[in-house]
Amino acid sequence: MSHANRRVLPGFSLSLGYTLFYLSVLVVLPILACFSKAASLTASQFWAAVWTERTRAAYALTFGTSFVAAAVNVALGLLIAWVLVRYRFPGRRVMDALIDLPLALPTAVGGLVYASLYVKKGWLGQYLVPLGIQAAYSRLAIVLVLVFIGLPFVVRTVQPVLEDLDAEAEEAAASLGATRWQSFYRVILPPLYPALLTGFALAFARSLGEYGSVVFVSGNMPYKTEIAPVLIVARLEEFAYGEATAIAVVLLVISLALLVVINALDRWSRRSEAHA
Amino acid sequence: MPERPPVPPARRVRHAQQDPFWVRWTLTLLAAAVVGLLVVVPVVHVFVGALSGGLGAYWQNLFGDPDTRHSILLTLTVVPGALAANIAFGLAAAWAIARFDFPGRTLLTSMIDLPFSVSPVVAGLMFVLIFGLQGYLGPFLQAHDVKILFATPGLILATAFVTFPFVARELIPVMQAIGDEEETAAVSLGADGWQMFRRITLPNIKWGLLYGIILCNARAMGEFGAVYVVSGHIAGQTDTMPLRVEKLFQEYNLPGSFAVASLLTLLAVLTLVVKVFLEARVPSERRNVH
C-alpha cells in the first residue's frame, strides 16, 4: 500500500479509472442532476414546493416516526445484544442470525405482512384492535414497521463493543461493593454510548428514506399518515417534477448531513474503544 | 478437611459478570419475545398466507398468472445485470483503494457509501430527471429511439445505484487485511496481471467476494422504492417481483400477493443461511453494518 506499489503491481490506472468512471456515472451525476433541477426553480417556487402545510406535515411525520422508531431500537437493540453476548441458551445462534432478516427481507414483503398482521382480522390485530390499539393504517403502524427495518443496526453496532468490554472493570466494581445494577449503569453502559448513538443514527437515517414497507402499512393519508418519500411519489405522479425534486433535495441534504454525523460518530466510537 | 483448590481466574471473572438466574431468564425471554414478534411471526405469516389455499392454489398463484410469471422473469434479468455491474466495480474499487496510495483515497472510500444514505425514492427520481422525457437526456434518447426509463435498463440502473456499495465495502477490508506480499511476489516472478488476479487475488478474496455478492443480491431482489419510481409500474412489462407484491395487494388479491412474497422470503432466509456459513470464513471485525 504505497507509491512503490505503482511500479510493481499492475492495474492502478485501469482500476482507479474505472472506479471513478462508474462512481461518476451512477452516483455523482444523478445527484448533481437532482441539485441542478432544483436550482432551476426560483427561490419562491422552491419555497412554495418545500414549505406547504402538507409537506410540513409529511416532514414532521417522517422525522417523528423515524426518531421514535430509532429510540425504540436503541432499547431493544441493547437488550438483544446483551442477551446474545452475555448469556448462553439454546437457540442463541438462530436468534443471532434472525437479527439480520430485516436486511435480507424485501421491504415490500415486510410491509405486506405487517399490514395484514395488525388489521382487525389479523393474527395480532384481533387482540389489539378491541383494546383500541390500531397498529395498521396509522402512525403506530409506521413506527412498528420502522422498528422492524431498523432492528439490526443497534444490535450490530453494540454487539462487538460489548464483546470486547474489559471484565476487570466490572470485577473491580463488584469487589468494591457495587450492586449488579450499579455496575451496569456506571461501568458497563458508558463505554457503550458511542455505539448506541451510532446505531441510533444508522437506524434513523435508514428510516428517513424508507418507502417500500411504509407505503403498505400507513394508509398514505395526506396530512395524517403521508411520509415525505410518499409525497415525492405523489408529486411525480402528478408530473410535478420540480416540486418533487425540491422535496427530494431537502431529504437529500438531511441524509448527507446525517452521513457526515455517522462517520464522525464512528470515528469517536473507534477511538473510545481503543482507549478502553 | 481437604484444602479447597484455588478458584481459577477465568471463573472469578465469569462470576463478576454473572447475573442472577431470574435476571438472565427474564432478559432472555424478553429478547426472544421481541425477535419472535418482530421477525419470526411475520415470516411464518408469509408462508401461512401463501399456502392457505392449498398447494394447488399456491402453484396457480405463482405460475398461472402471466403477469406474475413475467415479474419473476424480470427480476431474474434485472438482478444479475445490477450484480454484474457492481461486482466489476467492487473489484476495481477494492484493488485501487486497498493496493495503492493516491491523493483523495479516503474521500473516495467514503463516497462509495453515499448511495446507502439516499432514499430509494430520491434515487429513482434522479434517474427520471436524467432519462425522463422532460429530463436532461430525454429528448436525445427519444430521437434515437432508446428506451431507458419505464424499461429494463432503467430498472437495472436504479437497482445498481441502490446496491452500489455492497461488494466494494466487503472487499476493501478483506484485501487490506490480506496484504500485497503474494501478489508482489507473483508479479516479480513474471506473472502478468490476469494470471496474478486469477491465481492469487481471486482465491484469496473469494469468501469475502461471495459475502458481498450475497448481500448485494438480497437487496437487489427486494428493491422497491427506486424501482417503483423508474418502472412506471406497467403490469406484465416493468413489474419486478416486489412491485408485483404491491400491485396484487392493491387489487385485494392477497393469496397472489403472499405467494410472490413467499418466494422472496424464501430467498431472504436462504441468504441468512449462506451468510452464517460465510461468516465462519470471513473474520467478523472486517465486516460492517448495513
pLDDT in tens, A170-219: 888 888 888 888 888 888 999 999 999 999 999 999 999 999 999 999 98
Q: Residue A37 and residue B31: Cβ atoms within 8 Å?
A: no
Q: How many domains is chain B partitioned into structurally?
A: 1
Tell whether B26 is covered by a domain.
no
The grid cell for B148 is 431507458
Tell whether A259 is covered by a domain.
yes
Tell whether A33 is covered by a domain.
no
The grid cell for B147 is 428506451
Which residues in chain B (14-43) have CB-CB distances under 8 A to chain A? 16-17, 19-20, 23-24, 27-28, 30-32, 34-35, 37-43
Q: Cα separation of A130 and B59, whole Å?
A: 36
Tell whether B27 is covered by a domain.
no
Q: Closest Cα partner for A114 from A91, A143, A85? A: A143
Across the A:B interface, residue pairs with CB atoms under 8 Å apart total 307
Which residues in chain B (180-199) have CB-CB distances under 8 A to chain A? 180, 183-184, 187-188, 192-193, 196-197
Q: Residue B130 and residue A93: Cβ atoms within 8 Å?
A: no
Tell whether B7 is covered by a domain.
no
Choose, out of A112, A126, A162, A202, the residue to mutate when testing the contact with B (most B CBs < 10 Å): A112
Spell out which residues of chain A touch residue B30, defining contact as CB-CB under 8 Å. Answer: 79, 83
Residue carrying C-alpha cell 467514503: B110
Q: Residue B188 and residue A8: Cβ atoms within 8 Å?
A: yes
* Of B99, B123, B222, Cβ closest to residue A108: B222
Residue B90 in contact with partner chain A when CB distance is under 8 A:
no
- The ipTM, to two decimals, is 0.91
Tell whether A16 is covered by a domain.
no
Q: Residue A171 and residue B12: Cβ atoms within 8 Å?
A: yes
Contact A211, B120 (CB under 8 A): yes
B3 Cα to chain A: minimum distance (Å): 24
Spell out which residues of chain A touch residue B121, defining contact as CB-CB under 8 Å. Answer: 209, 211, 229, 232-233, 248
Q: Which residue of A has its CA nearest to B265?
A: A105
Chain-centroid distance of CA A221 in Å reads 23
Spell out which residues of chain B touch residue A102, defining contact as CB-CB under 8 Å. Answer: 39
Give the tens place of pLDDT for each residue, B244-287. Answer: 999 999 999 999 999 999 999 999 999 999 999 998 887 654 44
Q: Cα separation of A204 and A65, whole Å?
A: 9
Contact A50, A253 (CB under 8 A): no
Tell the burial category of B4 from Cβ atoms under 10 Å away from its Cβ (0-12, 13-18, 19+).
Answer: exposed
What is the DSSP code string of B180-247? SHHHHHHHHTT--HHHHIIIIIHHHHHHHHHHHHHHHHHHHHH--HHHHHHH---TTTT--HHHHHHH
Q: Cα separation of A179 and B250, whole Å?
A: 56
Spell out which residues of chain B touch residue A28, defining contact as CB-CB under 8 Å. Answer: 111
Residue B73 in contact with partner chain A when CB distance is under 8 A:
no
The whole domain housing B132 covers 71-236+264-286
* Of B27, B110, B180, Cβ closest to residue A9: B180
Choose, out of A2, A105, A214, the residue to mutate when testing the contact with B (most B CBs < 10 Å): A105
Q: Cα separation of A33 and B128, whole Å?
A: 10
Spell out which residues of chain B touch residue A15, defining contact as CB-CB under 8 Å. Answer: 91-93, 95-96
Residue B133 in contact with partner chain A when CB distance is under 8 A:
no
Can you give the CATH number for the domain in which A196 is found? 1.10.3720.10
Can you give the CATH number for the domain in which B219 is found? 1.10.3720.10
Q: Which residue of B has its CA nearest to A156?
A: B289
Tell whether A84 is covered by a domain.
yes
Q: How many residues does chain B have?
A: 290
Q: Residue B85 and residue A22: Cβ atoms within 8 Å?
A: yes
Q: Residue A209 and residue B176: Cβ atoms within 8 Å?
A: no
**What residues have CB less than 8 Å from A151, skipping those under 6 apart?**
A73, A76, A77, A99, A102, B38, B39
**What residues have CB less than 8 Å from B87, skipping those under 6 apart?**
B167, B209, B213, B216
Q: DSSP secondary-structure letter at B38?
A: I
Spell out which residues of chain A touch residue B176, defining contact as CB-CB under 8 Å. Answer: 1
Tell whether A17 is covered by a domain.
no
Measured CA distances, B141 to A265, B76, B134, B138, B172 (Å): 44, 26, 11, 5, 36
What is the DSSP code string of B160-175? HHHTTHHHHHHHHHHH
The whole domain housing A202 covers 41-275
Spell out which residues of chain B touch residue A152, defining contact as CB-CB under 8 Å. Answer: 289
Q: What averages of pLDDT result for each successive group of 10 residues across chain B (290 residues)?
A: 50 63 94 97 96 93 93 96 97 95 92 91 95 89 90 96 95 92 92 93 94 95 95 88 95 94 96 90 56
Q: Residue B224 and residue A108: Cβ atoms within 8 Å?
A: yes
Total-model pTM = 0.91
Residue B232 in contact with partner chain A when CB distance is under 8 A:
no
The grid cell for B65 is 398468472
Tell whether A179 is covered by a domain.
yes
Spell out which residues of chain A touch residue B130, defining contact as CB-CB under 8 Å. Answer: 29-30, 33
Contact B259, B58 (CB under 8 A): yes
Residue carrying C-alpha cell 452521513: A259
Q: Closest Cα partner for B162 from B109, B129, B131, B124? A: B124
Tell whether A21 is covered by a domain.
no
The 10 Å Cβ neighbour count of residue A152 is 26
Spell out which residues of chain A touch residue B31, defining contact as CB-CB under 8 Å. Answer: 79-80, 82-84, 95
Tell whether A10 is covered by a domain.
no
Q: Cα separation of B215 and B63, whole Å?
A: 27
Spell out which residues of chain B touch residue A256, defining contact as CB-CB under 8 Å. Answer: 114, 117
Tell whether B2 is covered by a domain.
no
Contact B241, B72 (CB under 8 A): yes
* Of B32, B184, B218, Cβ closest to residue A9: B184
Spell out which residues of chain B touch residue A262, defining contact as CB-CB under 8 Å. Answer: 117
Helix (H) or strand (E) holding B153: helix B152-162
Say which amino acid occupies A37.
K
Contact B258, A109 (CB under 8 A): no
Residue B202 in contact with partner chain A when CB distance is under 8 A:
no
Buried b (16+ CB within 10 A) or exposed e, B139-148: eebeeeeeeb
The separation between the first and the last C-alpha atoms of chain B, rounded to the nearest angstrom, is 59
Residue ranges, chain A, pLDDT below 70: 1-7, 273-276
Question: Which pLDDT score, from 0 to 100, does residue A276 have?
Answer: 53
Q: Cα separation of B134 and B127, whole Å?
A: 11
Helix (H) or strand (E) holding B267: helix B254-279
* Of A33, A109, A199, Cβ closest to residue B46: A109
* Of A15, A86, A211, Cβ closest to residue B224: A211
